[in-house]
Structure 1
């Protein structure tokens, strides 16, 4: 009976262990990728969120400018409260501004009751009122462009400019986030190297201690290795401090779903350097051409130039005299005077011209000068961008070459360390030479890690100058 019970317990324990092994551990190491950090910064970084609100304000301003062309309802009631005449007049009018020649369409209904003096005969209607409709438009001043249309077309450009500013913010924050991420990866990888060195020194210390007890090694070797342990422990402490600092820096860009900074815990690991290494060899001619066509700062200047040209066109138009034309048709219905039965139609012209136009000329001269200024700024920006892209590309090529050299040196120093260990096992070397080999190997590994990450960073900076950091979200660097 006892054997059966033990067998049952064994089967249950086996099933339990199997099921438990299939459940993912909460404390299992997680890999934090550059893509994770970029997406988090894009979703929660305050500057990006603020840029989104700037865009919303620009869209609200555009909606406000569109309101100048909303349909308007007007009502006018006029009643005599004393005197011989008791006339009452009520008028309702609907006006629709159009985006052409400062035109306005209107439709009106009027009705009156009582008696009016002869000098107010225009208020009198038949007993069922008068319907009328008409149009007015500007032929010269305000014909081609007016202040409402200027505000509307420039508000469209303001929205475009805020979208470009938001793109600029996302790009710049993306570069900063990538730098913080790579600094964290660098600190993490260096800590691993120094921890491995310290572990090796402690392991060797036990072996030397045994040899000293047996009399096969001098006590000075034990003392030398002890100072070596302290030295490597100090390196680990410095590396841990650097990891803590870079983790805090990274938390500014890697945030939780409430938007609060989130510092990577000990369970969070960086990817392998081979997974981070990216081949971003770019055709410089294509890169420069695309950058000059799509660069947000250049497009912002172009939009500012369009706005100033629109303003210039408006002020030039304001130098023209006013010549407005209007037409109206109306029809009374119902009983009353026969003189009001027929369809009435009107057409009119209104002309005015200021004799001095210094205000308009001053604004025109100012906008003309600003157009020239913006063209010069655009030329300077294009030349500066082209030069900075070439510099960034040259830096990237150099960093790639340095990374390759450092990686090769790390491989050679590792081989020398391994050969020195074999010689030490055979009695052909000593602890001093072995420590030197190990320290050279560790130094070369740290240098290779740093140079590899500098190469990646130089590539990111190149993409940042070309405003193509968004390509990291799905590119090789974001794997």
Structure 2
């Protein structure tokens, strides 16, 4: 007997040590698992890395280019040989510089080039006049577009994190809710099993009939079923939450315990502060600003199309045998109808109008949502205060009913009704606390708060 008692004490000590060795899992703990190694996180932000990489691709338009050409022909009445090696370097304003060496022997009908036997050095420049004057050209447009898209993509990633983080935190609150409900259902079952022992004693003494045992066992079975249903809801909530953390249930159970739902902090939120912070922080609003920048860039690039395409060429050569020379050229090209320019201009203007209306819609939704959420939070907080009072009342009524039952002036049906009513009131109170936390998180989401990696 003493050994059995000693083993029991050791077991309790080990269980207590195991419980104290675990951490209470909080919202802060989630951030340890919500990293870019987490598939949910990476899929939310991965596009920004693709768009950032495209900047490097666009910068390739300004790479120095090495060009090599060789041509040899032997026709019945003419022969010729031509070789050329050159480096070309475009600049951001559109000007392109060329330096190289070439040698031509014989007849070169296609370009009328003739050099001495040692060839010639060549230095040239190509100037797209209106591109330089407007500080805009295709290469610069491609690079600036890539930069704007990367910026917008970064804001969109922040917006994805904002929505994802709120979803994960909400699932955490729901998990705590089901954990607390499961405790209530287990407590309800414990009351029935404890009372069953009391009933068995009274049946043995003849104070109660045998039917009381049957009623008691039926009540226990009913409450065991309630526990199983709630346990299923809790397990599903746990699995749903853990999938976002990319964490196994076994590892979670070894390391953490869940806190009571009611101990989580309730925050006081001021409506005007919420609106001002939302306007500063919302990443989707900042993404719209990036779209505006892209339309401004499109306008600048399209404005070049309003002018003719005018390119000036100037080449200086130094023939090692014959000396220096120069070549100046001009290329002029203009579409007469200019439909591309006019059509693009209308397209950009329509895009700006749509963007402005989209921004107005977002602002209207933002203010309306925040107003509704603030009102809902106020109502929930009032219900929590009323729920505390109601909980005390039903607990007192249940206690009184139990005393009546012990002296034989009540029955099992009345006891069951009182206990179920107490559980439902406490469950409703938990729902109010859950709603308060969820609404607070929704307000934070509307304010533009998001998880930083």
Match of 2:162 in 1: 171
* Aligned residue among 96, 99, 123 for 1:107: 99
Gaps of 5+ in 1: 1-16, 474-479
CA change 1:24–1:135 in 2 (3 A) is farther
Tell me the alpha carbon deviations over residues 366-394 of structure 1, each in whole angstroms, 9 at most, x when there is no partner.
22222112112211211221211221222
Write the distance in 2 (CA, Å) between the matches of 1:347 and 1:287. Answer: 65
Residues 66-465 of structure 1 mapped to structure 2, 5 A cutoff = 66-82=59-75, 87-100=80-93, 102-112=94-104, 114-116=105-107, 122-125=113-116, 127=118, 129-140=119-130, 143-144=133-134, 145-217=136-208, 221-256=212-247, 269-275=257-263, 277-333=264-320, 336=321, 340-341=322-323, 343-418=324-399, 421=402, 427=407, 430-432=410-412, 434-465=415-446
Match of 1:34 in 2: 27
User: Is the CA contact (8 Å cut-off) linking 1:141 and 1:320 kept in structure 2?
Assistant: no
User: Is the CA contact (8 Å cut-off) linking 1:48 and 1:166 kept in structure 2?
Assistant: no
| Offset at residue 95 of structure 1 (A) | 0.8
| Offset at residue 192 of structure 1 (A) | 0.9
Question: How many pairs were matched up?
Answer: 440
1:470 aligns with 2:446: no
CA change 1:401–1:223 in 2 (3 A) is same
| Offset at residue 248 of structure 1 (A) | 3.2
Write the distance in 2 (CA, Å) between the matches of 1:361 and 1:233. Answer: 75
Match of 2:46 in 1: 53
| Offset at residue 331 of structure 1 (A) | 2.4
Gaps of 5+ in 2: 1-9
CA change 1:21–1:184 in 2 (3 A) is closer
Q: Secondary structure at the match of 2:113?
A: helix
CA change 1:85–1:211 in 2 (3 A) is same
| Offset at residue 468 of structure 1 (A) | 1.2
Q: Secondary structure at the match of 1:99?
A: coil
Tell me the alpha carbon deviations over residues 300-350 of structure 1, each in whole angstroms, 9 at most, x when there is no partner.
2222222122223322320211222233333233xx3xxx32x43444443
User: Is the CA contact (8 Å cut-off) linking 1:47 and 1:169 kept in structure 2?
Assistant: no
User: Is the CA contact (8 Å cut-off) linking 2:180 and 2:260 kept in structure 1?
Assistant: no
User: Is the CA contact (8 Å cut-off) linking 1:42 and 1:170 kept in structure 2?
Assistant: no
Superposition RMSD in Å: 3.4
Write the distance in 1 (CA, Å) between the matches of 2:19 and 2:84. Answer: 76
